[in-house]
Structure 1
Amino acid sequence: MMERFLVFATLAFATLTLAGISQAQASDDYIVLASTTSTEQSGLFGHLLPAFAEASGIRVRVVAVGTGQAFEIARRGDADSLLVHDTDGEERFVAEGFAAERADVMANDFVIIGPGHDPAGIAKAETVVDALARIAETQAPFASRGDDSGTHRAEQRLWEAAGVDPGGTWYRELGSGMGQTLNTTAAMDAYTMSDRATWVAFENPQNLTLLLEGDEALFNPYGSLLIDPQRHPHLKHDLAEQWHRWLLSADGQQAIADFTVKGQQLFFPSANSMSGSMSGSDP
């Protein structure tokens, strides 16, 4: 009787142990993705991640920050993968040996948002550089993300192209994500530069409207980067590569194309031209 009990207890213990191992293994089937607030706040990840999980069994935990912060997280070895939008910064990241591979995944565009009464008259501007020059000349309020994000970096390059060193009481650097920046812009009745996806998904425009779009200088590509295994061998490189390859696959690219908000396609697969993304209606 005792022998039968011991056999049963041993089998039960083994079953529980295997179950525990299985659960532990299952809990490890995730990666940490450092990405941008625009991909998070637009709702794109809410659309993409379930599709990827269903296809691969891998979950993705997103840390949504500005692109500059995302780079720093990855440099420290605290993220398994990167999806950001600053091509120059991405190429430097590869050149510095932090990433083994970079690939274009998708793109959309930036837009200039401002109050409907448009005190700087930027709706009449032919280019974004002209629009920013008008804002600086009139010292109309401008809210900048000021957070070293991809959007902020692009904005800084455009001010430089306009020959403007923004500052003074009219220029506010907020140090916040795109959604919060839009909220502050609405409260200030100011201008700002936003990625189109977050603007379309934004639910509190108040007096804000889309005033300038379509300039080629507002093109906004996103890249996926594989962290170099030699730099951070402890990361989940095999799982991260599956995510990276899925984004570039026909299924991943179709999932990106299928994402819409308020009837608008917000991100365009890297293989497509941007001709369809440079126009759209206000949210």
Structure 2
Amino acid sequence: MRRGLIAALALATILPLPAGAQRAPVILSTTTSTQDSGLLDVLVPLFERQTGYAVKTIAVGTGQALVVAARGEADVVLAHAPELEKKYVADGKMLNRRIVMYNDFVVIGPADDPAKIKGTKRAADAMKAIAASGARFVSRGDNSGTHLLEKRLWKLAGVDPAGGWYIEAGQGMGATLGIADDRKAYTLTDRGTFLALQKRVRLPILLEGDRPLLNVYSVMEVNPNNGPRVNAAGGGAFAAFMVSADVQKIIKTFGVDKYGQALFVPLAGMKEDEVGGKE
């Protein structure tokens, strides 16, 4: 009985309203990488048409996206920093974390590759070589999921990045790619944003395929106890939408027509330790 009631309530949140009816907007706190990839430009209008909710998107680094949600200033979060996300769930700030999709991170840099990282198998070894060479590296420097992974790679490499070669952008992925391109520098980027902007970014991929570079995106509902403005029904509806079969099919083919490959791999229903085994 309880399961049936929960299912009915969840279904009610995603069914369309009668004509003329309005719902409170859904505030989505998400990463600049999902915004820059163009995926939300497809999914958000579809969600709005299907449910009658209007969506307001806040695109920031994952760390800031979670802070905004913890203050009760968002209803749902789409992010890509698993360990940080789990801390917010454990603290009760976020609820019902579900994996949505993944892509991977790559290291790009100047074609002449002054640090000689092309052919390197381990990302940490590549980062160590970049630091040793003194070649420029542009960091997002914004506590995003990308930045958190970068810091982890420096730690694995035994490097404390500092000096004139290390440039902290303090900006999102798209802007960071632009700076790296202008400076002919190395940077760490998610593949989806890189593909979406590759006509403007002339730096080639020099390292890819190392397992630590997997980039998992999850959706989380914001605990309504975080603040009186939290739209729990709307946030729950968007979370259910992201893991629905129809949306997972869209994710599976998104980007193929434009870039020759999908920008993301759908993951709903899978466990994190299975990531990377599904292509």
Q: Calculate the TM-score normalised by the size of structure 1.
A: 0.85
Q: Structure 1 vs Structure 2: percent identity of aligned residues?
A: 43
What RMSD over aligned residues (CA atoms) do the two structures have, in Å? Answer: 1.6
The alignment status of 1:204 with 2:200, answered yes or no, reads yes
Q: Shift of the alpha carbon at 1:78?
A: 0.8
Aligned residues: 253
Q: Name the structure 2 match of 1:184.
A: 179
Q: How does 1:119-134 map to 2 (within 5 A)?
A: 119-134=114-129
Asked if the contact 2:73–2:229 (Cα under 8 Å) also holds between the matched residues in 1, the reply is: no
Q: Name the structure 2 match of 1:228.
A: 223
Tell me the distance in 2 between the aligned counterparts of 1:146 and 1:77: 25
Tell me the distance in 2 between the aligned counterparts of 1:201 and 1:245: 26
Q: Which runs of 5+ in 2 are unaligned?
A: 1-18
Asked if the contact 1:97–1:231 (Cα under 8 Å) also holds between the matched residues in 2, the reply is: no
Asked if the contact 2:73–2:227 (Cα under 8 Å) also holds between the matched residues in 1, the reply is: no
- Aligned mate of 1:170, from 162, 165, 169: 165
Q: Shift of the alpha carbon at 1:166?
A: 0.6
Asked if the contact 1:58–1:239 (Cα under 8 Å) also holds between the matched residues in 2, the reply is: yes
Tell me the distance in 1 between the aligned counterparts of 2:251 and 2:50: 15
Tell me the distance in 1 between the aligned counterparts of 2:176 and 2:229: 36
Q: Name the structure 1 match of 2:134.
A: 139
Q: Deviations over 1:64-108 (max 9, x none)?
A: 011111111111111111111100110000111111221111111
Q: Calculate the TM-score normalised by the size of structure 2.
A: 0.86
Asked if the contact 1:115–1:191 (Cα under 8 Å) also holds between the matched residues in 2, the reply is: yes
Q: How does 1:55-204 map to 2 (within 5 A)?
A: 55-202=50-197, 203-204=199-200
Q: How does 1:245-264 map to 2 (within 5 A)?
A: 245-260=240-255, 261-264=258-261
Q: Shift of the alpha carbon at 1:257?
A: 1.3
Partner of 1:230, secondary structure, is helix
Tell me the distance in 2 between the aligned counterparts of 1:252 and 1:233: 30
Q: Name the structure 1 match of 2:11.
A: none
Aligned amino acid, residue 39 of structure 2: L
Q: Which runs of 5+ in 1 are unaligned?
A: 1-21, 278-283
Aligned amino acid, residue 205 of structure 1: V
Q: Which stretch shows the higher mean deviation, 108-117 or 68-77?
A: 68-77
Asked if the contact 1:48–1:256 (Cα under 8 Å) also holds between the matched residues in 2, the reply is: no
The alignment status of 1:49 with 2:44, answered yes or no, reads yes
Q: Shift of the alpha carbon at 1:29?
A: 4.2
Larger radius of gyration: 1
The alignment status of 1:269 with 2:271, answered yes or no, reads no
